């Protein structure tokens, strides 16, 4: 049975609850509710005006109710008197179809097996106004794993890591990543919904703790054009109770036929889900990108899979799982998992064949592969593929596809109304 939040407040010294939901653009919206009021809110939900957030609603719609999931309760390690709760959205007595967490839960309920995933959200620590990395001494050409630069950010990184230890997430390593100013922290994988909630909370936590230290944590996919961007790789396996269905000692690289069908589904549907995994204008400056100053972007440009080789979209690093390297820091935590699960299940249901793996270096020899599909080149390409693929409606439902495509098209149109310096540089003398 779900825990009683009033009791939890008394037992754990929680004074306030943040009833929080993630909208279609990945923004976290919340009400701060005093413990004395949580009893009613646990039943009825906290009220919001849906139109005021990115959900494709109208100002005339009824109240939107965010019903907290008590299993998601996390006491903020940096402010333990506050309890954070992920919420599901309801309106007029019905679940809101297009709400990201609701969508992921629907897909999980349909999937039959349990998808487990672990994510690697890369981030930059920048100055408060976001214009520069926070550490002026972090200038190495190959900054990955830079011990000195990592230790200059010891206070921030370990405060976040200590928090994850305290929360029982099983963090196991922290490092300086491949761009100046970029870091990654890793913790144990788990059921997709748990990982999505943790992903949402991690972003909130990293930003909050960085702010405490006078810095800013950004997950923007490509904040600096010449540096490696921030991905959010996802490692995936599918389970039936305690049995990993992707593991097969006799399969190629220790992955089962079911695992290859799942990979086949992801590759078949990459175009259609790219607007979810890489949801911003800026996302397309990370993928398909020219070489960065470190020597490689570490991001994919084509729809291919491989063994333990980081130049492809899908990598099989180990038996019984694969890594999907396409997603980026802007991906909505719930939609990232939903996209992977939906596309993978499509592969399982239709026994999709991913073809033979490629063992080449895609950055240097990608041009020799003539029969692989390329990734969308920009957000508009991706939105169109999302809207026009017959599979998206089957995978995500009409309401979600309509809402998401509408808001993303609006975003693209806003973007095209900007006049850039590039245009002036290249067109003034036309
Ligand atoms: P890399 O940088 O080599 O891609 P990381 O160690 O940074 O790998 O991240 C690996 C992620 O994969 C972690 O979140 C880890 O818990 C997760 N993981 C490991 N095994 C599995 C598995 N069987 N299923 C899903 N995720 C897994
Ligand atoms: Mg009011
Ligand atoms: Mg990693
Ligand atoms: Mg990384
Ligand atoms: Mg990785």
Q: How far is ligand 1, taken at its centre, from the CA of residue 323, in Å?
A: 8
Q: How far is ligand 5, taken at its centre, from the CA of residue 117, in Å?
A: 12
List pLDDT tens digits, range 127-181: 999 999 999 999 999 999 999 999 999 999 999 999 999 999 999 999 999 999 9
Terminal-to-terminal C-alpha distance of the chain: 70
Confidence of residue 96 (pLDDT cuts 50, 70, 90): very high
Which two three-digit tokens encode residue 181? 């100013």
Query: How many whole angstroms separate alpha carbon 139 and alpha carbon 94?
Result: 53
Confidence of residue 370 (pLDDT cuts 50, 70, 90): confident
Q: How confident is the prediction for the chain on average, in pLDDT? A: 97
| Mean pLDDT value of segment 35-40 | 97
Q: What is the DSSP string of 267-302?
A: HHTHHHHHHHHS-SGGGGGTTTPPP-TTS---S--B
CB 111 within 8 A of CB 349: no
| Sheet containing strand 216-218, strands side by side | 171-176, 182-187, 123-126, 216-218
List pLDDT tens digits, range 309-362: 999 999 999 999 999 999 999 999 999 999 999 999 999 999 999 999 999 999
Atom of ligand 1 nearest to the CA of 237: 24
Instruction: Ligand 1 pocket test: pick from 115, 116, 118 the residue with the most ligand atoms within 8 Å of its Cβ.
Output: 118
Which protein residues have a CB closer than 5 Å to ligand 4 (ion)?
Answer: 184
**Ligand 1 binding residues, C-beta < 6 A:** 116-118, 120, 186, 188-189, 233, 235-237, 317, 320-321, 323
Atom of ligand 1 nearest to the CA of 189: 16
Q: How far is ligand 2, taken at its centre, from the CA of residue 88, in Å?
A: 20
The 3-state DSSP class for residue 47 equals strand
| Vertex 269: Cα angle to 267 and 272 (nearest 5) | 135
List pLDDT tens digits, range 203-262: 999 999 999 999 999 999 999 999 999 999 999 999 999 999 999 999 999 999 999 999
Query: How many whole angstroms separate alpha carbon 144 and alpha carbon 91?
Result: 47
**Antiparallel, parallel or unpaired: β 314-318 and 305-306:** parallel
State residue 290's pLDDT score: 86
Atom of ligand 1 nearest to the CA of 233: 4
**pLDDT tops 90 at residue 2:** no
Please enumerate in sequence order all residues whose Cβ is within 8 A of that of 70, keeping only pairs 6 or more positions apart, or say none: 2, 3, 4, 5, 8, 42, 85
CB 289 within 8 A of CB 299: yes
State residue 255's pLDDT score: 98
State residue 371's pLDDT score: 86
List pLDDT tens digits, range 384-427: 999 999 899 999 999 999 999 999 999 999 999 999 999 999 99
Which DSSP helix (H) or strand (E) runs through 211?
helix 192-212
Which two three-digit tokens encode residue 191? 């059921």
Query: How many whole angstroms separate alpha carbon 245 and alpha carbon 255?
Result: 9
Q: How far is ligand 3, taken at its centre, from the CA of residue 15, in Å?
A: 36
List pLDDT tens digits, range 258-308: 999 999 999 999 999 999 999 999 999 999 888 899 898 999 999 999 999
ipTM exceeding 0.95, yes/no: yes
Query: How many whole angstroms separate alpha carbon 360 and alpha carbon 307?
Result: 10
């Amino acid at each position: 049975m779900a825990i009683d939040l009033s009791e939890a407040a008394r037992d754990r010294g929680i004074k306030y609850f943040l009833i929080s939901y993630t909208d279609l653009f990945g923004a976290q919206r919340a009400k701060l509710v005093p413990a004395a009021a949580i009893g009613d809110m646990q039943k009825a939900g906290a009220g919001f005006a849906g139109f005021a957030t990115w959900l494709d609603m109208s100002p005339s719609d009824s109240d939107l109710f965010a019903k907290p999931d008590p299993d998601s309760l996390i006491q903020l390690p940096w402010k333990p008197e506050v309890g954070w709760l992920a919420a599901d959205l309801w309106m007029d007595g019905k679940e809101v179809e297009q709400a990201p967490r609701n969508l992921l839960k629907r897909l999980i309920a349909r999937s039959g097996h349990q998808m487990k995933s672990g994510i690697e959200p890369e981030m930059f620590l920048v100055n408060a106004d976001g214009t520069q990395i926070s550490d002026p001494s972090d200038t190495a050409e190959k900054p990955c794993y830079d011990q000195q630069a990592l230790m200059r950010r010891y206070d921030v990184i370990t405060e976040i890591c200590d928090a994850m230890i305290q929360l029982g997430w099983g963090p196991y390593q922290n490092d300086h990543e491949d761009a100046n100013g970029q870091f990654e922290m890793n913790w144990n994988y788990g059921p997709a919904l748990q990982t999505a909630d943790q992903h949402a909370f991690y972003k909130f936590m990293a930003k909050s703790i960085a702010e405490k230290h006078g810095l800013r944590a950004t997950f923007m996919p490509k904040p600096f054009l010449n540096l490696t961007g921030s991905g959010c790789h996802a490692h995936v396996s599918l389970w039936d109770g305690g049995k990993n269905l992707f593991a097969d000692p006799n399969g190629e690289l220790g992955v089962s036929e079911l695992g290859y069908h799942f990979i086949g589904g992801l590759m078949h549907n990459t175009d259609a889900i790219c607007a979810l995994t890489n949801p911003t204008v800026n996302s397309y400056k990370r993928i398909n990108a020219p070489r960065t100053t470190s020597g490689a972007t570490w991001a994919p440009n084509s729809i291919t899979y491989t063994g333990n080789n980081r130049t492809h979209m899908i990598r099989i690093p180990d038996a019984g799982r694969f890594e999907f390297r396409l997603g980026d820091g802007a991906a909505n935590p719930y939609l990232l998992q939903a996209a992977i699960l939906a596309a993978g299940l499509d592969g399982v249901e239709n026994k999709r064949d991913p073809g033979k793996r490629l063992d080449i270096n895609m950055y240097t020899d990608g041009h020799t592969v003539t029969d692989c599909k390329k990734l969308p080149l920009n957000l508009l390409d991706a939105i169109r593929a999302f809207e026009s693929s017959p599979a998206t409606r089957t995978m995500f439902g009409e309401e979600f596809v309509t809402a998401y495509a509408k808001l993303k098209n609006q975003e693209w149109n806003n973007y095209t109304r900007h006049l850039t310096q590039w245009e002036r540089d290249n067109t003034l003398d036309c």
